[in-house]
Amino acid sequence: MRNGGRVLAATMAALIGLNLVGAACVLAQAGRATGWTIEVNSEGPAGRPAVTRAHLTANDKLTRLELELTREVAISVSTMTEPDRVIVDLPEVDFRIASTVGQNGKGLIKAFRYGLFGPRQSRVVIDTDGPVHVRKARVETSGQTARLVIELAREAIRPAPDTPAVDAAPVLRPSKFEEPPPAVTLRKGKPVVVVDAGHGGVDPGAIGPDGLPEKDIVLSVARRLRNLLVRSGRYTVVMTRNRDMYISLEQRVRTSRRHGADLFISIHADSVAEESLAPHVRGGSIYTLSDRASNEEARRLADKENAADLLAGLESTADQEEDEVRDILIDLLRRETENFSADFSNLLTGELRKHIVLARDPQRSAAFQVLKQAETPSVLVELGYVSNPEDRKLLTSPAWQDKVAGAMLAAIDSFFARRAMGMVHAP
């Protein structure tokens, strides 16, 4: 799909075009400061502000994050715990800095992420190494530019007279944002296939050594699959996201249920943090739902994927106790779909094996949140490891992505053909 290729090309070009400038900035407070600056000379589309530079400095008392903007915006700042984070909400802006910028923290900031969080709303999530006090949070203007300044301290610092700790200017007060309508290609009376590109927006997913985030790779593959499904004329196609925007796990499941999905496919890529292991771990895998993980790697991956909402700055929501009767009904529905999910996993594994390298024991199971759809056969596909050089080369190849999308289409065709013939029965 041409658009997917443009996404990857544009992302790689942005990464290559970064101008990395080392900087040591002395804060007003005492102590030696260290930090870095990353800047790009790029303007956002007319009418929308853009972030063009990130600057992080720290000394023994304060940690200061500055984001340069093409114009002033309203902000809303809050703190969260478990884990400790500072959340900055602002209107939709174009982040003209690489997704890797926030990986190397300083001082009280371990890392930070940013991106589109909802319709007309962007978000910056700052991970801190413990509870912090927001010493300053405001947008400062100078000439034609503006700076979003966040200053953090370990303990509350009494502000000097006439200097508010947090700017009292009007701020954006985001409520529960409106869920964007998913991209739907209607085919009346046809099976509904939901294609779920993992991560997005403020959540980049796994990031390889070259800086290319998982969210861009999986969106490109999802779009290619969508195009093949549409061209076949056999399906109604629903995309949980069709752009670089964060969609919560709950929203993804809700979209599937709202459209009465007959099949749900979540597309991801994995990574290995240990540098010594990264060159040796590669290959795709297919996951189905299970309360008990098939192995430790599956459990680890499910925990990581299920934490996506926390990483995006959403409140942790513990599983609510269900009514006993509802539990029984859900369990019956789930059993009815288990065989269908397993059958599609078998078909997809067979088709993918013809075109790509699969991991050893590629069919696995774990308690993935997005697969908890009692009424819909669902699988989560890990295409490979962005941390592995060989996999990463393939993951970013348009030709390889076309092969993967083609294999998925073949498995989908076989799956619905078998169901139409009654070749798969619920237990």
CATH of the structural domain 18-153, one choice from 3.40.50.1820, 3.40.50.40, 2.60.40.3500, 1.20.120.850: 2.60.40.3500
CB atoms within 10 A of CB 160: 8
* Placement of tokens 């610092």 in the chain: 157
Ranges of CATH 3.40.630.40 domains, the chain: 183-420
Region 368-397: mean pLDDT is 94
Q: How confident is the model at residue 417 (pLDDT cuts 50, 70, 90)?
A: very high
**110-112-116 Cα angle (round to 5):** 165
For residue 385, the cross-strand partners are: 270
**Is the pLDDT higher at 36 or at 345?**
345
| Residue 233: pLDDT over 70 | yes
Q: Do the Cβ atoms of 197 and 99 come closer than 8 Å?
A: no
pLDDT at residue 358 in the model:
96
Region 66-93: mean pLDDT is 92
| Residue 171: pLDDT over 90 | no
Residue type, 71: R
Q: How confident is the model at residue 321 (pLDDT cuts 50, 70, 90)?
A: very low
132-142 exposure pattern, b = at least 16 Cβ within 10 A, e = fewer: bebbbbbbeee
| Residue 162: pLDDT over 80 | no
Q: How confident is the model at residue 209 (pLDDT cuts 50, 70, 90)?
A: confident
Angle between helices 398-420 and 214-232 (to 10 degrees): 50
| Residue 181: pLDDT over 50 | yes
| Residue 221: pLDDT over 50 | yes
Nearest partner of 368 among 355, 357, 356, 381, judged by Cα: 381
Could you give the count of Cα atoms lying within 13 Å of 239 in the half-sphere of its Cβ? 22
Residue type, 84: D
Q: In sequence order, what are the residues at sequence separation of 6 or more whose Cβ sits closer than 8 angstroms to the Cβ of residue 4?
A: 219, 220, 221, 223, 224, 398, 401
Average pLDDT, the chain: 80
Region 395-416: mean pLDDT is 96
Q: How confident is the model at residue 170 (pLDDT cuts 50, 70, 90)?
A: very low
pLDDT at residue 6 in the model:
42
Region 118-140: mean pLDDT is 92
CB atoms within 10 A of CB 267: 25
Region 163-171: mean pLDDT is 40
Q: In sequence order, what are the residues at sequence separation of 6 or more whose Cβ sits closer than 8 angstroms to the Cβ of residue 387?
A: 206, 208, 209, 270, 271, 272, 273, 278, 281
* Placement of tokens 């900055």 in the chain: 88
pLDDT in tens, 241-266: 999 999 999 999 999 999 999 999 99
Region 224-244: mean pLDDT is 95
| Residue 315: pLDDT over 70 | no
Q: According to the per-residue pLDDT averaged within each range, which of 65-74, 124-133, 165-174, 405-414 is highest?
A: 405-414
| Residue 186: pLDDT over 80 | no
| Residue 275: pLDDT over 70 | yes
| Residue 44: pLDDT over 50 | no
Q: Do the Cβ atoms of 265 and 196 come closer than 8 Å?
A: yes
| Residue 334: pLDDT over 80 | no
Q: In sequence order, what are the residues at sequence separation of 6 or more whose Cβ sits closer than 8 angstroms to the Cβ of residue 34?
A: 24, 57, 58, 59, 106
CB atoms within 10 A of CB 370: 22
Region 356-376: mean pLDDT is 92
Calculate the dihedral angle through the C-alpha atoms of 381, 386, 392, 394, rounding to the nearest 10 degrees.
0
Nearest partner of 115 among 93, 87, 148, judged by Cα: 93
Q: How confident is the model at residue 293 (pLDDT cuts 50, 70, 90)?
A: confident
| Residue 329: pLDDT over 70 | no
Write the class of the CATH domain 183-420.
Answer: alpha beta
218-241 exposure pattern, b = at least 16 Cβ within 10 A, e = fewer: bbbbbbbbbbbbeeeebbbbbbbb
| Residue 271: pLDDT over 50 | yes
pLDDT at residue 119 in the model:
85
Ranges of CATH 2.60.40.3500 domains, the chain: 18-153
| Residue 17: pLDDT over 50 | no
pLDDT at residue 167 in the model:
42
Q: Determine what percent of the chain is predicted with pLDDT higher than 70.
A: 76
Q: According to the per-residue pLDDT averaged within each range, which of 10-14, 228-232, 297-301 is highest?
A: 228-232
Q: In sequence order, what are the residues at sequence separation of 6 or more whose Cβ sits closer than 8 angstroms to the Cβ of residue 207?
A: 99, 100, 103, 213, 214, 271, 386
